[in-house]
Chain A
Amino acid sequence: MTAVQSPPVAEREIVSLPSRRGGLGAAFRFEVRKLRTQYRGWAVLLAALLAPIPIVVIIHGQSRPPKDTLFGRFATDNGYALALLVLGFATQWVLPLLTAIVAGDIFASEDQHGTWKTVLTRSTSRARIFWAKTLTACGFAVLVLGVLAASTIVSSLLIVGHQPLIGLSGQIISSSTALKLVTASYVSALPPTLGFTCLAIVLSVWFRNPAVGIAAPVVLGMVMVLVGGLGSIEAIRSGLLTTPFESWHGLLTQPRFTGPLVEGLLVSGVWSLISLSAAFAIVRRRDITGG
């Protein structure tokens, strides 16, 4: 095949313009800006802020405490116990859901709106977009957990009170120590929450569908809770991403044991790493044909 090259109409000197390109910070700012203008992020934050209050009020008003759950026995008349009860509940599926609402959508929504081509035809590398989105989703997860923790702990203490807490070994924990331990317990939920964030990211990248990105991590989380509860093989149980959500139990025993916290950190780290590696590989390689 021959390529006929005819003289250009207006041959110009090609001036080499300074190559201008936004860095990761710029891409991150754009992601945050998009998130801020969407109502979903605000709805999740609002839910994390407000939902704990009626829950605290209702449990506090119960005549019979929910004895069969961890710290349920004391939850009606001890603020710390109630905050831990809510944590136990939140880690079942609420935290995976709250984080997935943003993380499960953040990549897939580009497919939904056909905007991959819009951002990738700027001088922005796929890697930069990937990390900007990942940072945004993880930042949001930290924020949501922080708001949920603050709202639950403050409302529990204000509504129910800050009496000394009876620990899992029956020991009395002073009010000030209990506050630290309850806070630490919420912090211990961060690694698996981030693990679920990364899981939502890879599902969002893989399926290119926001609904799957949001629902699938929650469903997977529930399956893991189920599998973990079946008394299955310990190796499987400790490898599940839901197991680190229980690592705080060791903080409330006498003596305390922190092994599960370290293990939880590792397990969450491995889940996150695998999820992000897979997601990154897909984003890097895929053909952008839609939109």
Chain B
Amino acid sequence: MNQALAVDATGVTKNFGTVRAVDDISIQVAAGEVYGVLGPNGAGKTTFLRMLFGLIRPDAGTIRVFDKTWDQAGVGVLDGVAGFIESPRFYPYLTGRANLEGLALLDGGVRPGLLEEVLEIVDLTDRAERKVGGYSYGMRQRLGVAASLLREPRLLVLDEPANGLDPAGIRDMRALVKRLAGSGLTVLLSSHDMGEVEEICDNVTILNRGAVAFHGTIAQLRTMAPDPGYLLSTTSDERALALSRHHPHVEVTCDPEAALVVTGPRPEVSSYVASLVRADVDLLGFTATQTPLEALFFMLTDESRPSAAHRSEPLEEAVR
């Protein structure tokens, strides 16, 4: 048995009635790494993590956590493991601090000063005496992280930790996860956002409808990614389309939304756009559709998204 594995799941399957939520998946998370489980809604991420925590039982397969299984070690599997599933929940009639104190009791006590430390880390010191019932969603999410850190875990399991947060909250949550990962903690994170996983994780498993669609490093994933795509709108789309024939590496198609979709390696796209400007075709809009990894993610999970502007780049940068 590999001692360096924090999580070693093999052949895990779970059915809910006739729905196969998790279908024979195997995931290995090495100690010290930041691992992403990525998938669209209903892919089975939460179901997998619930099984890891023993909240539900797998129908088949085994999950070893630091070389212990539920069958052998019972609740001892969770020694050194912390995290939350979906949005963290607390007792609304207790204050933030009282919630943490109660959970610390269940943990068998915490070292002095730790409670203050974790409140400080998640920036909730000022609100700790308020009842959780009055907390905002983001505050509850942060309290969830605090409650997890209270266990001084070796493995932190977070189920879509940035879900439902505003952009600033997402940024802070990602920064926090990165900081924690930097301290050597093993992090197993689920997400439906490729950008998030790309930013934080070393390794990733992409789930689709309960089954593994990809398994590997972010670097491997990048080599598989298609060229970036852009939405282009001009004063004369016909001329723009005609001009694209001089740029064999650039593919330009007409979108049903009456915009042009440009795909190709970035330098070729730049020179194509520059040729449009030279030909007096004015650009009315130029935005990136999806990042290549996002596009790959949608391909792997066969989910065709409308080419909405997920990430827009300044016009000059693309033209330059």
Partner of A288, one of B34, B55, B102, B220: B55
Identify the interface centre among B74, B106, B151, B217: most chain A CB within 10 Å of its CB: B106
Contact B54 A22 (CB under 8 A): no
Known: A10-B184, A37-B93, A117-B53. A4 touches B215 (CB 8 A): yes
Q: Is the CB of B32 within 8 A of A9?
A: yes
Interface: A3 (CB within 8 A): yes
Residue contact B184 to A12, C-beta cutoff 8 Å: yes
Asked whether, in the complex, the Cβ of A122 is within 8 Å of the Cβ of B106, the reply is yes
How far does the alpha carbon of A7 sit from the alpha carbon of B32 in the complex, in Å? 10
Map CB proximity to A onto B54-92 as digits: 1 under 8 Å, 0 otherwise. 111100000000100000001110111011111011111
Categorize the interface residue count of chain A: 35 or more
Does the CB pair B202–A121 fall under 8 Å? Answer: no
Distance in Å: Cβ of B93 to nearest Cβ of chain A:
6
Residues in A with CB closer than 8 Å to B10 are: 3
Report the Cα distance A6→B98, complex, angstroms. 41
Q: Please, how many angstroms separate the alpha-carbon atoms of A2 and B10 in the complex?
A: 10
Interface range on chain B: under 10, 10 to 19, 20 to 34, or 35 or more? 35 or more
Cross-chain contact B75 with A117 (CB below 8 angstroms): no
> In the bound complex, what is the Cα–Cα distance between A114 and B217 (angstroms)?
35
Nearest residue, chain B, Cβ from A39: B93
Question: Does B108 contact A21, Cβ atoms closer than 8 Å?
Answer: yes
A117 pairs with B31, CB closer than 8 A: no
Asked whether B28 lies within 8 Å of A3 as measured between CB atoms, the reply is yes
Residue of A nearest to B104 (CB): A22
Q: Is the CB of B80 within 8 A of A26?
A: no
- The answer, among A2, A12, A119, A288, for a CB contact under 8 Å with B31, is A12
Q: List 11 A-B contacts (CB under 8 A).
A: A6-B216, A8-B202, A29-B105, A33-B94, A37-B94, A113-B90, A115-B89, A124-B106, A287-B50, A288-B55, A289-B16
Name B residues whose Cβ lies closer than 8 Å to a Cβ of A: 3-4, 6, 10, 16, 24-28, 30-34, 50, 53-57, 66, 74-76, 78-80, 82-86, 88-94, 98, 102-103, 105-109, 147, 151-152, 154, 184, 202-203, 211-212, 215-217, 220
